[in-house]
């Protein structure tokens, strides 16, 4: 599982959902958490953290946001050489097949549907950890 | 050219028990999962003239062509304060921006959960952005047709309501 000092960026336009995600992460032992209220504001935060030598280790982002959606933030991260390997979890109220496929196609690490609890988030994070810590050669074999 | 208006009692989807159940399940699941809050469902009823007093409510337009409707989730102060305490460990004594934000997010989650279930049954509801109304006000409906009202009660005896108005 991810180490407890990993740095999270939680992106959601609703302060309530940011608080809920932070509370759940705290319950799982993670306390190094920063917030952003939109994808548009999150991208420069992610890029500045790389420049400062203190990059984020995990992004949890809402899908529906007014300035830049979560899926567009994901695509922007994938297009940035410094951010493309960053674990990226999308949070959304949408659980329909077309949305899951769109997120998978864009390269999302995993997907959590609201409402969720700590056990669900933990299970998803464990899966992401396994996927990101497995070398590409091992995945192909 | 538009079709003749349909007669509400015969065709209105408010009489579809699966629609009612989707919203009941959406509310119960959302509160239990995100706020560890149990709620008791009261007796749903149809009102032809909605006139409801609220302190804060989340509202979202529901569109599933050719259906158009509104979902309204109205909370008393006591019910939303209880939910906030269970959900975030925060004690509130007045309706604030934080409460408004939470009502918007709860409306979003309840609608999202119900919408997924309904679309699996053949409806085609789309996601929409909720609006929050706060302050003491009375809601009245200007459109023809009926409103399905589902009352809920929390353990501290406080109440919230889901009101679904659908035009066909």
Q: What is the pTM of this model?
A: 0.87
Q: How far is B160 from chain A (nearest CA, A)?
A: 19
Closest to B27 in 3D by CA, of B84, B106, B124, B123: B106
Contact B101 A15 (CB under 8 A): yes
In degrees, to the nearest 5, what angle opens at C-alpha B24 toward C-alphas B44 and B89?
120
In this prediction, residue B144 carries a pLDDT of 63
Verify whether the Cβ–Cβ distance B105 to A116 is below 8 Å.
Answer: no
- Measured CA to CA in angstroms, residue B122 lies from B19, B115, B116, B137 at distances of 11, 11, 10, 36
The pLDDT mean for chain A works out to: 91
Set of chain A residues whose Cβ sits within 8 Å of the Cβ of B125: none
β-partners of residue A33 are A8
A14 vs A135: which has the higher pLDDT: A14
Answer yes or no: do A93 and B111 touch at CB < 8 A: yes
pLDDT in tens, B4-23: 443 333 456 667 788 899 99
Residue A33 CB-half CA count within 13 A? 20
CA atoms of A122 and A57, how far apart (whole Å): 16
In tens, the pLDDT along B119-158 reads 888 888 887 888 999 877 666 655 666 788 999 999 999 9
CA distance B100 to B138: 17
Under 8 Å CB-to-CB from B138, ≥6 apart: which residues?
A: B51, B52, B53, B54
More confident residue, A45 or A100: A45
Q: What is the pLDDT of residues A23-51, one digit of tens each?
A: 999 999 999 999 999 999 999 999 999 99
The per-residue pLDDT for range B31-89, each reduced to its tens digit, is 999 999 999 999 998 876 655 667 899 999 998 888 888 999 999 999 999 999 999 99
Select the more confidently predicted residue: B143 or A15.
A15
Verify whether the Cβ–Cβ distance B104 to A14 is below 8 Å.
Answer: yes
Whether B105 contacts chain A with CB within 8 A: yes
Which pLDDT band holds residue A132 (cuts at 50, 70, 90)? confident
Task: Identify all chain B residues contacting A113, using CB atoms and an 8 Å cutoff.
Answer: 112, 116
Question: Does residue A88 have a cis bond before it (omega within 30 degrees)?
Answer: no
The answer to whether the Cβ–Cβ distance between A115 and B29 falls below 8 Å is yes
| Shortest Cα distance, chain B CAs vs residue A23, angstroms | 7
Which of A23, A95, A117 is nearest residue B116 as measured by Cβ atoms? A95
Helix (H) or strand (E) holding A133: helix A118-133
Please give the average per-residue pLDDT across A105-112, as a whole number. Answer: 94
CA distances from B89 to A28, A114, A118, B36 (A): 17, 19, 15, 11
**Which of A49-53, A98-102, B97-101 is least confident?**
A98-102
Q: Report the complex ipTM.
A: 0.85
Distance from CA of A1 to the nearest CA of B (A): 24
């Amino acid at each position: 599982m991810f180490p407890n000092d990993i740095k999270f960026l939680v992106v959601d336009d609703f302060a309530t959902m940011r608080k809920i995600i932070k509370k759940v992460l705290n319950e799982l032992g993670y306390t190094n958490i920063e917030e952003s209220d939109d994808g548009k504001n999150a991208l420069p935060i992610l890029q500045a953290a790389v420049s400062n030598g203190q990059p984020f280790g995990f992004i949890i982002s809402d899908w529906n946001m007014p300035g830049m959606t979560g899926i567009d933030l994901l695509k922007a991260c994938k297009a940035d050489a410094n951010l493309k390997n960053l674990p990226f979890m999308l949070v959304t109220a949408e659980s329909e097949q077309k949305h899951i496929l769109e997120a998978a196609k864009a390269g999302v690490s995993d997907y959590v549907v609201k409402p969720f609890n700590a056990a669900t988030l933990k299970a998803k994070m464990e899966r992401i950890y396994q996927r990101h810590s497995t070398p590409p050669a091992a995945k192909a074999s | 050219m538009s079709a003749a208006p349909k007669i509400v009692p015969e065709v209105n989807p408010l009489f579809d028990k699966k629609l009612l159940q989707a919203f009941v399940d959406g509310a119960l699941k959302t509160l239990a999962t995100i706020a560890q809050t149990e709620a008791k469902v009261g007796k749903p009823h149809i009102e032809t003239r909605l006139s409801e007093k609220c302190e804060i409510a989340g509202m979202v337009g529901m569109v599933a062509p050719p259906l158009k409707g509104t979902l309204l989730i109205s909370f008393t102060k006591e019910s939303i304060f209880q939910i906030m305490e269970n959900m975030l460990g925060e004690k509130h004594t007045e309706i604030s921006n934080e409460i408004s934000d939470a009502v918007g997010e709860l409306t979003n989650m309840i609608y999202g959960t119900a919408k997924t279930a309904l679309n699996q049954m053949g409806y085609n509801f789309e996601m929409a952005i909720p609006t929050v109304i706060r302050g003491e006000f009375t809601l009245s409906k200007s459109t023809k047709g009926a409103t399905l009202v589902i009352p809920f009660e929390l353990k501290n005896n406080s109440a919230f309501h889901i009101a679904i108005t659908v035009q066909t």
